[in-house]
Amino acid sequence: MPTACLLCILMLPIVVHAQDKTYKPLFDRDGPPEGWVVRAWNDVSKEPTKPSQWSVKDGVLTSGKERGNWLMYEKPLGDFILELEIKIGPQGNSGIALRAPLKGDPAFDGLELQVADYRYNMKALDSELTGGLYRAIAPKKQVYKPTEWNAVRIELKGNRFKATLNGELIHDLDLSKYDTLVKRHDGTDASPIKDRPRIGHIGFQHLSRDTDPVLIRAARLMELK
């Protein structure tokens, strides 16, 4: 074997190992998650009406019993890759906030990748089901697995948004092209997707109607320069 090829083979494990280290686990310590705050589901500048304690045990993040809140990451992010697995119950309703300001509703003032069991709202639009950018853009396909662990990968870089659910590509978007106004829950207009912030906070929602908690595991983050 040529010397150059042998050197490439010997160096490969080192390169892969270095790449793996660029991911940061989000919930690697038991107890209340550090660097996160709990806020009201419809305005993350406010405390929730009923206190809810999210906690971590053995790498699994579990919501409190009280519905109607977001767990928000205090550090703002611009370009990043977020990977995790999430599980909710038959009346489960959650979501992943992306580039959301720490005020207002992440679904309308930032971005929210919806995670909801279809039984939560049998009249839901495609953009209100799992994988939709809430009320704005439906996923390419519906591949959510009810009451099972669902693997999510989200990549945001500038205007580019990519998401996979359970290994299936559900979004590959240029956010700057989406100029349609989105209706809030009160019927007023929210900004179109093209005008949403490019820097903000990630978070996880608990709005389920059942007693099953929102569960998240294997959550890790890579910030992109």
Band of residue 65 on the pLDDT scale cut at 50, 70, 90: confident
> 2 lies in a domain?
no
Q: Of 145 and 212, which is predicted with more confidence?
A: 145
Instruction: Give the DSSP H or E segment for 10.
Output: helix 3-20
Domain count, the chain: 1
> pLDDT tens digits, residue range 75-101?
999 999 999 999 999 999 999 999 999
pTM: 0.90
The whole-number average pLDDT for the span 39-49 is: 95
Predicted confidence at residue 5, as pLDDT, reads 44
> 119 lies in a domain?
yes
Band of residue 49 on the pLDDT scale cut at 50, 70, 90: confident
> 58 lies in a domain?
yes
Query: What own/partner pairs with CB < 8 Å and gap ≥ 24 does 135-142 have?
Result: 135/107, 135/108, 135/182, 135/183, 136/178, 136/180, 136/182, 136/192, 136/193, 137/171, 137/173, 137/178, 137/193, 139/163, 139/165, 139/170, 139/171, 140/168, 140/169, 140/170, 140/171, 141/168, 141/170
> 151 lies in a domain?
yes
The whole-number average pLDDT for the span 16-35 is: 80
Token output for 9: 């083979």
> 147 lies in a domain?
yes
Query: Which amino acid is it at 22?
Result: T
Predicted confidence at residue 13, as pLDDT, reads 41
pLDDT above 70: percentage of residues in the chain: 91
Query: Which amino acid is it at 156?
Result: L
pLDDT at position 140 over 80: yes
> pLDDT tens digits, residue range 166-182?
999 999 999 999 999 99
Predicted confidence at residue 132, as pLDDT, reads 98
Question: Quick one: 2 exposed, middle or buried, by C-beta within 10 A (0-12, 13-18, 19+)?
Answer: exposed
> 7 lies in a domain?
no
**Residue 106's domain spans which residues?**
25-223
Predicted confidence at residue 21, as pLDDT, reads 56
- DSSP three-state, residue 161: strand
> 68 lies in a domain?
yes
- Residue-wise burial string across 142-151, b where 16 or more C-beta atoms lie within 10 A, e elsewhere: ebbeeeeebe
Q: Residue 48 sits in a domain of what CATH number?
A: 2.60.120.560
